[in-house]
Structure 1
Amino acid sequence: MKLFERLKNDAAVEWSAYVDHDFVRQLGTGDLPQPAFRHYLVQDYLFLIQFARAYALAVYKSPTLADMRNAHEGVKAILDVELELHIELCSSWGMTREQIESAPEDTPTMAYTRFVLEAGMAGDLLDLQAALAPCVIGYAEIGKALVEGHGDSIGGNGYKRWIEEYSGEMYQALAGDFGGWMDKTSEVYLTEARYARLLTLFRKATQLEADFWQMGLDAADT
């Protein structure tokens, strides 16, 4: 079994709470309140800045040039694609790049990003990958599930652009490549004695992903 699938199966409760969160369901139906999505999107922009740093840390933690190139591709995907998607969506509400970048980090944003960075700084490349995986591969799974679950109705969904980005061929390939990279790293670093630690990191990162969705919903109620 692939390492990601094993981790996901062993963290089934946390994974379901993440990918089937009310925020995700409402995103798929288009019923998500715009303030919830807007707060999420701004915080996700700030999150991705820190995630780019985590990928840069992966370059440092990489034992081979091939690993360094994989980590570099992650940095590029965030800086050149994902951040620009967020700017595109936020600009439709009249928000400038400067306003987004100067927004304060919410507590769930800080908790998640610092957890990932600490996992990488305290551990090795595989620890960092375990902490990154729920976001990297999870978004691909969510995007694909939303398209498959809602079909033609996606065309009239106000969040179509977001769904298209994460269900699209480019992001699906990125997530697949990450899973393959994680498997190759595990061939070098993983032992059965160590697996429990990886699972703890993966579970916590998955819980923090669910908290991130909840942060968006909570913002709509304030």
Structure 2
Amino acid sequence: MIPDYGSAFAAWRADCPGPWAAYTRHAFVEGVRDGSLPQAAFLAYLRQDYLFLMQFARAWALVVVKAGSLAEMQAAAATVHALLHQEMALHLRICAAAGISGTDLEATEEAAGTLAYTRYVLDAGHSGDVLDLLAALAPCILGYGEIGARLAATAGDTPYRDWIATYGGAEYQVLCRRTGALIDGAVAARLGPAAKTLPRWQMLSRHFTTATRLEAGFWTGGGL
């Protein structure tokens, strides 16, 4: 069952079924689910994702800057907090158990895919408005929510249970629903009830699709 993260997300997701399946059903994800993913590949991914999250938090902070209301600012700020204090803590915890320190993580060189993805999102935000930024941000936070929910319900005996529990857990799922509500509210406030019929909507959908493609490539950068 696909989680309900709002109407904008559902529409953008439906606009890119191929890239979305390549992202959320990637061999990397399935290897996490059944435990067949080599630990080295998972740790390589975590190193890059740690760097990614630092840039991603900056992009969500830009949502605070570009927000049109206090409610939007508060929702975006809550996401920044979750990224910096929950997701990055997960990475530190898993890597520390494998002998990789926080200093080691921060010294990791950004891979080309990490650079391409994070700078695309930041450029969408700097060159566009808050809707451009939210559309480019949505595949990561909401895609991980969808993946986490599915894996939490279907995963077998896997060494990656901690990772699955984080993204499939109640706290992260609440964050995803709040993010979906933020996006729907931002769209309604700026484009009105007929948003999906406007040319502007197609640009937002393209941002979402491009970011989804970059997400699939990010798994590949992890070794599969």
Q: TM-score range by the shorter chain?
A: over 0.9
Note the C-alpha offset of 1:182: 0.2
Amino acid of the structure 2 residue aligned with 1:35: A
> How many pairs are equivalent?
214
Matched, 1:217 2:223: yes
The residue type paired with residue 64 of structure 1 is: S
Q: Matches of 1:90 and 1:135 in 2, distance apart?
A: 21
What's the offset of the Cα at 1:148? 1.9
Alpha-carbon shift at residue 149 of structure 1 (Å): 2.2
Tell me the CA shift for residue 137 of structure 1: 0.5
- 1:19-48 Cα shifts (integer Å, max 9, x gaps): 010000111000001111000001000000
CA–CA separation in structure 2 for the residues paired with 1:161 and 1:44: 16
Q: What is the distance in 2 between the residues matched to 1:19 and 1:189? A: 30
TM-score after normalising by structure 1:
0.94
Q: How do residues 38-187 of structure 1 correspond to structure 2 at under 5 angstroms?
A: 38-150=43-155, 153=156, 156-187=157-188
Root-mean-square deviation (CA), in Å? 1.0
In the alignment, which residue of structure 1 is the partner of 2:203? Answer: 197
Q: 5+ unaligned residues in a row in structure 2: which ranges?
A: 1-5
Q: Give the superposition deviation at 1:157.
A: 1.1
Q: Distance in 2 between matches of 1:4 and 1:25?
A: 23
In the alignment, the residues of structure 1 paired with residue 95 and residue 190 of structure 2 have an alpha-carbon distance, to the nearest angstrom, of 41
Whether 1:208 and 2:211 are equivalent positions in the alignment is no
- The answer for the alignment partner of 1:15 in structure 2 is 20
1:33 to 29, 38, 41: 38
* Residues in 2 aligned to 1:51 and 1:120: alpha-carbon distance in whole angstroms: 11
Q: What do the CA deviations read for 1:152-172 (whole angstroms, capped 9, x no partner)?
A: x2xx31000000000000000
Normalising by structure 2, report the TM-score: 0.93
Amino acid at match of 1:120: G
Matches of 2:223 and 2:104, distance apart in 1: 21
Question: What is the distance in 2 between the residues matched to 1:172 and 1:146?
Answer: 13
Output the CA distance in 2 between the equivalents of 1:83 and 1:3: 27
What is the identity, as a one-letter code, of the residue corresponding to 1:217?
G
Q: Give the fraction of aligned pairs with identical amino acids, expressed as a percent.
A: 43
* Residue matched to 2:3: none
Runs of 4+ in 1 over 6 A off after TM superposition: none
Letter of the 1:206 counterpart: T
Flag structure 1 segments of 5+ consecutive residues without an equivalent: none
